[in-house]
Amino acid sequence: MKAATWTGVNEVSVEEVPEPQLLNDHDVILKVKQSVTCGSDLHLLGGYIPFMRAGDVLGHEFIGEIVEAGPAVRNRKVGDRVVGAPFAACGNCWYCKQEQYSLCDNGNAAPGITEGLWGQSPGGCLGYSHAMGGYAGSHAEYIRVPYGDVGTFVVPEGVSDTRALFASDAASTGWMGADLAGTKPGDVVAVWGAGGVGQMAARAAMLLGAEQVFVVDRIPERLQQVREHVGAEAIDYSRTDVLAELRERTGGRGPDVCIEAVGMEAHSSGSAGVYDQVKQQLRLQTDRPTALREAVMACRKGGSLFTLGVFAAMVDKFPLGALMNKGLTFRGAQVHAQRYIPELLERMERGELTTEHLATHVLPLSEAPRGYQMFKEKEDGCVRAVFTPGS
């Protein structure tokens, strides 16, 4: 079959690879209908997460049709149109029972690397390096999904492929941030990053009752989408002082909830951005936390901060003093998609949550290298490049 693979730093190829097999009784195999680039892929692409092997199949956000199911699969059948969750989660361990699916004890078949890095291993993530289980990803004609009953969700008939696709990760991650940050009616929420996840976090905050929602970015097309499709207020950090702007617009308090949806390759137009770039390139820090620092400083006293952006290891100049003395609550997580996908699909069916606008570029799989190039460089207003392996 054809698949888009990582072949080196900033190199994506389309290659002929073997088809996946059922390796466990709980597995399902999907024929992939659509699979989409995610901002977190860029950390793999750029070599910032150095656990990719040349030839690894990329992709973890996808929709497809079940074409094969293992003998222990009970609730899915061949022919089901399903959205897949990025993380392999067993559904039976203590973490899964707490609905913390990305922390599944059994989802990473090779947990030694992440236990060495982080002291504990989260679950395994499809198409996301050998540190996260070494699973082949979804930018392919077929994908194996471990624990098929837990990791796939039947899509209601009235929901289009492209709308449902984003329930897999962008919408579920965004929703998780707004939910676990404790957003409640009347809150003021600020989101850093107007990519797919940031937009979905903002939309989730609005649907959870936030009275005012801001999204911070610098890309005009993305800020326009925030205004048009999400209905939130856009702040262009390249044209204004974000901290001053937020204080001015919140009666001097700052947002109740701050959600960081940028991650380890944050940009900044100021000296902080230069500082972080230099330190990262010299390997004196692994991650650039520019947006995260700003979120800590912006958050109101006693407020809540959630990081959805992916970080790998170390950051420098993290304002821990502000975090502690302002009494902030700080949380983060990889996506517990299984917890949110059912509700999101229902909201998509009711028309409360639309995502099609994120798919700015729909391409055949053969154009995956160009898709990643556009996505990485944000060319031609690219918010997400969607690949259609079947076409």
Partner 1 sequence: MPLPKILARAAGLATEAGSGALQQLQHLRLPGVGQASVTDDPDTAARRWRAVTVLTDPEQLRTETPAPLARFGDRLEVRVTPAPGDRGAELAARFRSPVTEEELGELRSALREAKQRIETGEVLRNEPQPHGHRAQTPQGKALDGMDERAAKEGVL
The binding site for partner 1 (CB under 8 A) comprises 1, 3, 5, 7-8, 13, 15-21, 23-26, 50-57, 72, 88, 90, 92-94, 97, 105-107, 109-113, 115-117, 119-121, 124, 130, 133-136, 140, 142, 144, 146-147, 313-314
| DSSP class per residue in 40-92 | THHHHHTTSS----TTEEP---EEEEEEEE-TT--S--TT-EEEEPSEE--S-
For residue 87, the cross-strand partners are 125
Which tokens sit at 213? 């929602």
List phi, psi (to 5°) of 51. -120, 25
In angstroms, what CA-CA distances link 321 with 15, 241, 296?
49, 22, 10
| DSSP class per residue in 285-338 | -S-B-HHHHHHHHHSPTT-EEEE-S---S--SS--HHHHHHTT-EEEE-S--HH
Which ranges of 141-241 would DSSP assign to H, the alpha helix?
Answer: 148-151, 161-165, 170-180, 196-207, 220-225
104 vs 147: CA distance, rounded Å: 12
